[in-house]
Amino acid sequence: MGINFTVGEEAERFVGRSLHCITAVSFPISLLTIRLLWTKTPKDAGAYKYLLMIMQAFSALIELHMGVLFAPIPLFPLMGAYCTGILCDLHVPPHMSTAILFFIVLGCFIMLNVCIFYRHQAIIPDSHPLKMRNRTRILVCSIYAVAVELLSVLVLFADHDSSGGSDFIEKNHPSMKWVYAKPGWIVWNPEGSVRFVVYHALINHTFQAPLISFLIHHSLKVLNQRAPDMSLRTISFHRAMISSLIMQSVCCVFVFLPVTVLVVSIISEGEMTHEVTIVAFLTCQLFTPLHSITVILSSATLRRSVWNYFRFRSLSDGPKISTTVLPKPSVVVLRVPVCDSSSLSVVSLA
């Protein structure tokens, strides 16, 4: 029978406005987080500060791409979308815009996992068998980043239909031919080469989730073992960083669960309605603002900076109070001679 639904003008406006509103809120928060990380991060954070900044830069680019540049209207449970953003007006191929989206989203998750790995290496002692040298750490992180970003390359070169007509739609979903009139549309055949994208994502998630969980758990375990040999300030710093990374990882639920819904909708071939998949798609966009807010709230320094800014801002809008400092009274000592050749001191305030 095939999939059959129509994205009306009201639904299209709803999705578009939702993307714009989320971007209008999230993008300034991401920029604020980057500025706070640059100016308020403690000096002893070292290279970790720049890893966090790069991760936040990816987060800001995700919102900019989703809400302004690409602004896709998804066609789930059909594996496709059409563009309503600036890149569409510039005639950028939709498969390239999709590959860029995958690249920056994966880049954000890569940097989050690299931060967890960096914190793990900073906690374990030099004698530990998992301790790596700087060059080895850089090599491991580079190989990991290339392996994960391979997914965006697979998306770029996956077989797709994006102009004229689509043999996949003509054969399986003829009622969806209305998408031909939309600008910058793209549709993938689930049975084509795009299946390697799904395989890569499943393999990546299967190995990555347990590995990251192990690094966090092992970091806390080693930190507790080394507590007697560390200062209270060092222990507090490491625990605060690990807690922040755990909270940031929890925010990934707003991506993994909706993506699971979207994948199930594709596999079930239309058992889920288009409205359900739209809600799942928009839920994914909540990751970036929640992630940025988590970075700020989980750091005492950043949280204090934001609080002080708004507190002083509110005080500056209140009534003006001027203070005049009065001069201190001078002390005068008078010595009056008496008959026994001593002197009597009289103190007065002028």
- Assess contact for 97 and 206: CB atoms under 8 A: no
- Assess contact for 111 and 145: CB atoms under 8 A: no
Instruction: Find the mean pLDDT for residues 144-152.
Output: 95
% of the chain with per-residue pLDDT over 70: 88
Mean per-residue pLDDT of the chain: 85
The one-letter code for the residue type at 347 is: V
Say whether pLDDT at 345 is over 70.
no
Say whether pLDDT at 348 is over 90.
no
Dihedral over Cα of 252, 255, 261, 266: its sign: negative
Residue 44 in tokens: 């002893």
Structural domains in the chain, sorted by start: 9-313 (1.20.1070.10)
pLDDT in tens, 291-338: 999 999 888 888 888 888 777 665 555 555 444 555 555 544 445 555
Virtual torsion, Cα 220, 120, 284, 194, nearest 10 deg: -130
Of residues 229 and 350, more confidently modeled? 229
- Assess contact for 22 and 281: CB atoms under 8 A: no
pLDDT in tens, 110-129: 999 999 999 999 999 999 99
pTM here is 0.84
* Spatial CB neighbours of 62, under 8 Å, sequence gap ≥ 6: 101, 104, 105, 108, 288
How many CB atoms sit inside 10 A of residue 332's CB?
Answer: 10
- Whole-Å CA distances, 25 to 67, 84, 258, 289: 11, 20, 21, 8
The whole-angstrom separation of Cα 38 and Cα 31 is 11
The whole-angstrom separation of Cα 179 and Cα 168 is 13
The whole-angstrom separation of Cα 287 and Cα 149 is 20
How many CB atoms sit inside 10 A of residue 194's CB?
Answer: 17
The whole-angstrom separation of Cα 196 and Cα 199 is 5
**In this structure, what DSSP letter does residue 66 have?**
I
pLDDT in tens, 42-89: 777 778 889 999 999 999 999 999 999 999 999 888 889 999 999 988
